[in-house]
Structure 1
Amino acid sequence: MIKLVSENDFWGIPNWLFDIIIIVVAILAGLVLKYILMALTRYYKSRSTFSFLRSSVLHLGRPLNVFLPLVFLNITKTLMVLPPRMLAVYFKLLEIGLIVAFAYILVNLIDVFQDFVFSSYDLKKADNLRERKVRTQLQFIRKILVAVVLTLTVAAVLFSFEGMRKLGAGLLTGVGVGGIIIGFAAQRSLSNFLAGLQIAFTQPIRIDDVLVVEGEWGRVEEITLTYVVVNIWDQRRLILPINYFIEKPFQNWTRTSAEILGTVFIYADYSLPLDALRAEFDRLVSGHPLWDKKVKVVQLTDAKENVVEIRCLVSAANSGQAFDLRCFVRENLIHFIQKNYPESLPKVRASLEPIKQLPSS
């Protein structure tokens, strides 16, 4: 028996198999092209210093895994021999896929720009006030841009359907009333968003700022459009709504500069010679690498019932160094008093007198 080949078959290959071959070849061509591009730029990927090409290779690798095969599928779509209805569905899926893949590339290009800014404004500098300002604003700008890209992508996908275009035209007439209703329903979220924009540009806090908030000491690790993450000194994370920093008071130790004064309180007996303590304090601080050579003072700040309060004031370049310097000064001054003036450690004085006997009656 001789098998008849339909007029749409190619070289005796059924239409469905021909379509599968076209799809597989297009996908493989896209992946091969992506592999060639990655191979040509592999040298830049291994570099530690910033370059636009290196950052593009790192961020665009995954999006190209999707985008390039879709491009080849779009090029070869006219070769498909699907039925008209299925062909229309195939074309629509390709269109949606290309829109989403292109949006994926745009989001990662934003990350490339972010890498460039991060390389230009390094937080590791000793005086990094300007860097913290720029990075804080950049985080907000990036999130807003990503949100805009995603919104436009969803809109482009929806409006690629004829029915949605007609529906969208009808919805525009009621957008004013709808906006008011949504505004009331999402009042809290909108207030957080507006607070985020206010913080981004007025900057009461910035990335890497040192804060004392809710009784905790830590650094600002992340600022989003709705919340702030504070990395506490013991590696816990304190997460606060962003409008907290608009409505409530908090301490910012690095608002205008990272420099800070550290305080050490010593409580001793009245007999402790302050001149000797000052000389030891001056010796300890003057030779310490964490002291910034600006402030070192010993003062008698209070005289209590049993002890005197001695305040030692030192300055350092930032709060972390100030904390370490305070611990060093406190430990060594206590050791100095224990070794040289043990009788001047805090003590309780008592006077014992014999009880007089009452005369017998």
Structure 2
Amino acid sequence: MEDVLRPLVVIGGSLAITLCIGWAVDWLLRRADARHPETPLWGLLRRCRLPLQVTVCTALLSGSYDKTRAKVVEAHSSAIGQLLALVLIAATAWLVVRVASVVVESSYARYAASAHDPARVRRVRTQVTLIQRVVTAVVGVVAISAMLLTFPAMRAVGTSMLASAGLVGIVAGIAAQSTLGNLFAGLQIAFGDMVRIGDTVVVDGEWGTVEEITLTFLSVRTWDERRITMPVSYFTSKPFENWSRGGTQKTATVLFHLDHGAPIEEMRDRLREIVQSSTAWDGRDWNLLVTDTTPSTIVVRALVTARDPDDAWTIRCEVREQMIAFLRDFHPYALPRIATAPAPATAPQPRRRPEREDHFARFDDTLSKDGTGRGRS
């Protein structure tokens, strides 16, 4: 009877203590969250309840499993202790990663709620995202190393591994040169403020929005919902356009190739009506000028300002569509005409008659002049 009750007491007691600790921590976090609603840290820390309970329960079982005195436990004491140690290391790493993630999210949420500059908010978001990924990677590496060191065979070869660590490090550095380059490029992007999540960029002729930045790659969502994934080292080694850096305001231009008789003043009045009725215009500036001329046409440029690249694209399309409709309906002569009919054929030349035919033709003319119908001798 004692062999049955002792394991139940040890295991049941560990589970009960774990549940009590989890309930107490959750109650304290609820009170702190209700007392300080402006600080999201306490509410976010409640996400750590599950890894905390797993860590506490595993720690209690690791310290008390040998007290059960069960034959099965005594027969496999080493394996059980090894398993509990591995679970404890993994649960602790899970808890550390979750706490770090909560702290980072809380800091970003508090900064975003009080900041008034969207560009700085995107910059902080990019930095905290990469910091969170770095912390996760470091904790994961440390946890895996600690789990490997729990095996006696790994501890036995530790000395020889350290002795060859220099050579292995050189070989690994050469083999992982590209990966390490992307890693440092990701840190440079995060803290150098070169590109941020949410920025509008033009890369290799593709216009899109930066959707995700990791330590090794960057994802750009194009206007037609495609995703372009490229290494972050691209942004540190090649030029690219960042339309969001230094402000999101954009100047949109529309070019018209028109006849020399196009009504420029009336087109200016029409452009004023278009921009004043458009919600994409930010009210800063607009103009319409003749910027170039050719023997057959003139080039008219309409310039309109907008709040961001999306509005610039919208108002560019509106100006182009409505201005062409205005010219088509009221001044069709201003639109260039392209001749597509074939050129008229050259008039046929009279066929030259042979010399003999010319002789008889002259003879017939002589007869007609004499009126006798007979030829001269």
Query: What is the TM-score with the length of structure 2 in the denominator?
Result: 0.79
- The answer as to 2:178 corresponding to 1:185 is no
Match of 1:309, SS state, is: strand
Equivalent residue, structure 1, for 2:67: 79
Q: 1:262 aligns with which of 252, 265, 270?
A: 252
Q: 2:288 aligns with which of 289, 292, 298?
A: 298
Change (3 A) 1:304 1:123: farther
Per-residue CA shift, 1:161-211, capped at 9, x if unaligned? 454334323322221111111112222222222222222232332211111
Distance apart, 1:227 and its partner CA: 0.7
Contact 2:122/2:198 (8 A) holds in 1: yes
Change (3 A) 1:353 1:237: closer
Change (3 A) 1:123 1:220: farther
User: How far apart in 2 are the matches of 1:113 and 1:287?
Assistant: 47
Change (3 A) 1:116 1:41: closer
Distance apart, 1:159 and its partner CA: 2.8
Distance apart, 1:262 and its partner CA: 1.2
Per-residue CA shift, 1:83-102, capped at 9, x if unaligned? 54523433332232222111
Change (3 A) 1:213 1:316: same
Equivalent residue, structure 2, for 1:6: none
- The answer as to 2:45 corresponding to 1:56 is yes
Query: Larger C-alpha radius of gyration, 1 or 2?
Result: 2
Distance apart, 1:153 and its partner CA: 1.2
- The answer as to 2:242 corresponding to 1:242 is no
- The answer as to 2:147 corresponding to 1:151 is no
Q: 1:132 aligns with which of 102, 122, 135?
A: 122
Per-residue CA shift, 1:228-260, capped at 9, x if unaligned? 100111111110112222233322212222222
Distance apart, 1:305 and its partner CA: 4.5
Mean CA deviation greater in 160-169 or 209-218 = 160-169
Distance apart, 1:103 and its partner CA: 0.8
- The answer as to 2:93 corresponding to 1:96 is no
Contact 1:262/1:326 (8 A) holds in 2: yes
Mean CA deviation greater in 136-145 or 234-243 = 136-145
User: How far apart in 1 are the matches of 2:314 and 2:114?
Assistant: 18
Change (3 A) 1:61 1:299: farther
Paired residues in the alignment total 347
Contact 1:209/1:253 (8 A) holds in 2: yes
User: How far apart in 1 are the matches of 2:147 and 2:339?
Assistant: 85
Q: 2:214 aligns with which of 224, 229, 245?
A: 224
Structure richer in helix, relative to its length:
2
Change (3 A) 1:245 1:336: same
Q: 1:322 aligns with which of 308, 312, 317?
A: 312
Contact 1:127/1:257 (8 A) holds in 2: no
Equivalent residue, structure 1, for 2:335: 345
Q: Report the residue type matching 2:229 in the other structure.
A: I
Q: 2:268 aligns with which of 269, 274, 278?
A: 278
Q: 2:14 aligns with which of 18, 26, 30?
A: 26
Per-residue CA shift, 1:319-341, capped at 9, x if unaligned? 11211222222222222222322
Instruction: Name structure 1 gaps, 5 residues minimum.
Output: 1-11
Equivalent residue, structure 1, for 2:55: 67
Mean CA deviation greater in 198-207 or 234-243 = 198-207
Change (3 A) 1:231 1:126: farther
User: How far apart in 1 are the matches of 2:294 and 2:150?
Assistant: 80
Q: Report the residue type matching 1:191 in the other structure.
A: G
Equivalent residue, structure 2, for 1:334: 324
User: How far apart in 2 are the matches of 1:356 and 1:310?
Assistant: 42
Mean CA deviation greater in 122-131 or 147-156 = 122-131
User: How far apart in 2 are the matches of 1:85 and 1:187?
Assistant: 49
User: How far apart in 2 are the matches of 1:38 and 1:66?
Assistant: 15
Contact 2:108/2:128 (8 A) holds in 1: no
Change (3 A) 1:80 1:261: same
Distance apart, 1:120 and its partner CA: 3.5
Distance apart, 1:115 and its partner CA: 1.4
Match of 1:204, SS state, is: coil
Change (3 A) 1:124 1:263: farther
User: How far apart in 2 are the matches of 1:67 and 1:200?
Assistant: 33
Contact 2:29/2:45 (8 A) holds in 1: no
Equivalent residue, structure 2, for 1:3: none
User: How far apart in 1 are the matches of 2:235 and 2:127?
Assistant: 16
Distance apart, 1:219 and its partner CA: 0.6
Change (3 A) 1:306 1:94: same
Query: What is the TM-score with the length of structure 1 in the denominator?
Result: 0.82
Match of 2:76, SS state, is: helix
Contact 2:40/2:110 (8 A) holds in 1: no
- The answer as to 2:189 corresponding to 1:195 is no
User: How far apart in 2 are the matches of 1:313 and 1:303?
Assistant: 18
Q: Report the residue type matching 1:170 in the other structure.
A: S
User: How far apart in 1 are the matches of 2:2 and 2:90?
Assistant: 33
Match of 1:263, SS state, is: strand
Contact 2:30/2:42 (8 A) holds in 1: no
Change (3 A) 1:354 1:88: closer
Contact 2:257/2:297 (8 A) holds in 1: yes
Q: Report the residue type matching 1:342 in the other structure.
A: P
Distance apart, 1:314 and its partner CA: 1.4
